[in-house]
C-alpha cells in the first residue's frame, strides 16, 4: 500500500523536469537571470531525485517492517506510514488536521455541505464524522470521500452524493482571497486618495512594480495594443495563484494551488478566455491550413484542434505538478527524519540537520517557484490569447 502511494510521486519527479524544460524553451520574456534560476532549480531537482528514490527503498523497508511489527495490534497506536502522511498533506481534507497526539488526531472541524437527490441538502460540522469512525445523517467519511450509508451502516453505492463541503482547501482559499482583496482594495484606495502624482508608499510600493511588470512584460509585450482589455483578468489570475502559492507555503497549511480541481478551474477559465478572443483568421488557420496540400490539411486539422485543448491542459498540469512536487519534496525531506528514526533513534537525530538544511533550501526555492509559476501561468495565458487573435504568428508558436 505504501509502495503504491509512493509510485505516483516518483513519476512526478520525472514529470517535473520536462515541464521546466518547456518553460525554458518557451522563455519569451524570461530574462537570462530567470532562465539561469530555473536551470539551477532543475539541476537541484535532478540531485534530489537520487536521495528521493533512495529514500523510497528505505521507506519501503521501513514501512514493511512497521507493518510486520504492528500487524497484530492493528492501526491503533503510532502506525507510522510516511506515504499516508504525505498524501494527507497534499490532498484535500474535510477537517484542518494539525497533529496526532497518542494516535488521536487534533484537528479543526470544517463545515460539511452535502447534496444528494434522495436526501436533499445536509449541512453539519465535520467533527460529527469522528474522523471516519461514525456516520451522521446517513453519510460516512470513507478514505476522505463522503459516501451515503444505509441504516445498518453499510455503504450505499446507489445514492449519488454531491460534496460541496468547505474543505481545508476551500477555507484556506477563502482566507487567502479575503487577505488578497483587503490588501489590494487598500492599495487601490491609496491611489484614489493620493491621486497619480504622489509617489507610492508602504504596501503600494510592493504591489505597484508587480502590477507594472504584469502589465508591461505580460500584457503589453504579448497582447500589443489590445492589452488593456485583458489586464483585469491577467492581474486577477496572477494574484489569485500567487496568494494561493504563498499561503500554501505556510507550514501546516493546505496545498490549494497544487490541487487539480483548483488548476482545472483556472485552466478552463483561460480556455474560455482564449476561445472568446479568437478571430476569423484563427479558425481559418485551424480548418484550412494555408499553403499545404489537402491530405496534410486533414492531418493538420486534428493537430490544430488538439492544440486548442492542449494549451489550457498544459497550464492545468504545469501548475498542479509544480506545486505538488514542491510540497512533496518538503514533506518527504521531513519524513526522512522519522523514517531514519524508525531504523534507530540515533540515525534519526543524526539525519535531522541534513534533512533540515535540504528542507530550508527547497523552501527558499519554493518561494521563488510561487512567483515563477504564477507568472508563467499568466504569461502563457497571455501568449495563447495573443495567438488566438493575432493569427499571423499562430503557426510559428503553435508547434512549440
Positions touching another protein (CB under 8 A) are 8, 87, 90-92, 113, 143-145, 162-167, 169-170, 173-174, 177, 180-181, 184-185, 187-188, 191-192, 195-197, 207-208, 211-212, 215, 228, 231-233, 235-236, 239-240, 259-262, 264-266, 269, 324
Q: Least Å distance between CB 329 and another protein?
A: 15
Q: Least Å distance between CB 25 and another protein?
A: 25
Q: Least Å distance between CB 241 and another protein?
A: 10
Nearest to 397 by CA among 319, 307, 270: 307
Which strands, in side-by-side order, build the sheet including 162-163? 120-125, 111-116, 162-163
CA 49 from centroid of its chain's CA atoms: 20
Q: Least Å distance between CB 264 and another protein?
A: 5
DSSP alpha helix (H) spans, the chain: 2-26, 32-70, 82-90, 168-194, 203-213, 221-223, 227-248, 260-277, 280-287, 294-343, 345-390, 394-398
Q: Least Å distance between CB 9 and another protein?
A: 9
Q: Least Å distance between CB 360 and another protein?
A: 26
Which residues neighbour 328 within 8 Å (Cβ) at sequence distance 6 or greater?
Answer: 9, 12, 86, 90
Q: Is 146 in contact with 112 (CB distance < 8 Å)?
A: yes
Structure-block grid coordinates of residue 96: 484542518
Q: Decide whether 200 or 391 has the Cβ nearer to another protein.
A: 200
CB neighbourhood size of 253 (10 A): 18
Collapse the DSSP code of 292 into the 3-class scheme (helix H, G, I; strand E, B; otherwise coil) and give the result: coil
What burial letters (b/e) apply to 138-176, b meaning 16+ CB within 10 Å? bbbbeeeebbbbeeeeeebeebebeeebbbbbbbbbeeb
Q: Is 16 in contact with 322 (CB distance < 8 Å)?
A: yes
Q: Decide whether 134 or 188 has the Cβ nearer to another protein.
A: 188
Q: Decide whether 232 or 293 has the Cβ nearer to another protein.
A: 232
Q: Decide whether 187 or 370 has the Cβ nearer to another protein.
A: 187
Q: Is 69 in contact with 26 (CB distance < 8 Å)?
A: no
Q: Decide whether 98 or 212 has the Cβ nearer to another protein.
A: 212
What separation in angstroms does the CA of 87 have from each of 159, 282, 335? 27, 42, 12
Q: Decide whether 106 or 145 has the Cβ nearer to another protein.
A: 145
Q: Decide whether 85 or 113 has the Cβ nearer to another protein.
A: 113
Q: What gap in Å lies between CA 186 and CA 247, rounded to an integer?
A: 19
Q: Decide whether 231 or 368 has the Cβ nearer to another protein.
A: 231
State the sign of the Cα–Cα–Cα–Cα dihedral 39, 219, 237, 209: positive
Q: Least Å distance between CB 374 and another protein?
A: 14
Q: Least Å distance between CB 123 and another protein?
A: 13
CB neighbourhood size of 128 (10 A): 14
Q: Least Å distance between CB 169 and another protein?
A: 6
Q: Decide whether 337 or 380 has the Cβ nearer to another protein.
A: 380
Backbone angles phi, psi at 287, to 5 degrees: -85, -25
Amino acid at each position: 500500500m505504501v509502495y503504491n502511494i509512493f509510485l505516483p510521486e516518483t513519476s512526478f519527479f520525472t514529470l517535473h523536469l520536462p515541464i521546466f524544460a518547456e518553460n525554458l524553451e518557451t522563455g519569451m520574456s524570461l530574462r537570462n537571470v530567470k532562465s539561469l534560476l530555473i536551470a539551477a532549480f532543475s539541476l537541484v531537482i535532478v540531485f534530489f531525485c537520487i536521495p528521493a528514490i533512495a529514500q523510497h527503498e528505505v521507506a519501503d523497508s521501513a514501512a514493511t517492517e512497521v507493518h510486520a511489527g504492528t500487524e497484530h495490534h492493528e492501526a491503533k497506536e503510532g502506525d507510522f506510514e510516511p506515504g499516508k502522511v504525505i498524501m494527507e498533506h497534499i490532498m484535500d481534507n474535510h477537517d484542518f488536521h494539525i497533529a496526532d497526539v497518542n494516535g488521536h488526531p487534533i484537528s479543526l472541524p470544517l463545515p460539511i455541505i452535502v447534496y444528494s437527490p434522495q436526501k436533499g441538502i445536509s449541512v453539519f460540522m465535520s467533527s460529527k464524522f469522528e474522523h471516519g469512525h461514525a456516520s451522521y445523517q446517513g453519510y460516512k467519511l470513507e478514505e476522505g470521500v463522503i459516501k451515503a450509508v444505509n441504516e445498518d451502516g453499510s455503504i450505499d453505492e446507489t445514492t449519488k452524493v454531491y460534496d460541496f463541503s468547505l474543505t481545508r482547501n476551500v477555507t484556506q482559499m477563502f482566507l487567502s482571497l479575503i487577505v488578497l482583496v483587503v490588501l489590494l482594495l487598500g492599495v487601490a484606495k491609496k491611489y484614489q486618495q493620493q491621486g497619480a502624482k504622489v509617489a507610492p508608499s508602504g504596501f503600494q510600493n510592493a504591489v505597484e512594480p508587480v502590477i507594472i511588470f504584469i502589465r508591461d512584460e505580460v500584457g503589453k509585450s504579448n497582447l500589443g495594443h489590445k492589452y488593456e482589455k485583458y489586464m483585469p483578468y491577467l492581474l486577477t489570475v496572477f494574484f489569485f495563484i500567487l496568494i494561493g502559492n504563498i499561503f500554501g507555503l505556510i507550514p501546516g497549511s493546505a496545498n490549494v494551488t497544487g490541487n487539480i480541481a483548483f488548476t482545472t478551474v483556472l485552466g478552463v477559465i483561460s480556455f474560455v478566455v482564449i476561445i472568446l478572443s479568437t478571430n476569423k483568421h484563427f479558425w481559418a488557420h485551424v480548418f484550412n491550413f494555408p499553403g499545404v496540400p489537402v491530405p496534410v490539411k486533414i492531418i493538420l486539422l486534428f493537430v490544430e484542434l488538439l492544440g486548442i485543448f492542449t494549451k489550457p491542459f498544459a497550464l492545468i498540469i504545469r501548475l498542479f505538478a509544480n506545486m505538488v512536487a514542491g510540497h512533496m519534496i518538503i514533506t518527504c525531506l521531513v519524513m526522512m527524519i522519522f523514517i531514519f528514526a524508525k531504523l534507530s533513534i540515533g540515525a534519526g537525530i543524526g539525519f535531522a540537520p541534513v534533512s533540515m538544511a535540504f528542507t530550508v533550501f527547497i523552501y527558499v526555492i519554493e518561494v521563488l517557484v510561487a512567483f515563477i509559476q504564477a507568472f508563467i501561468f499568466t504569461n502563457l495565458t497571455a501568449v495563447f490569447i495573443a495567438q488566438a487573435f493575432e493569427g499571423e504568428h499562430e503557426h510559428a508558436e503553435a508547434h512549440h
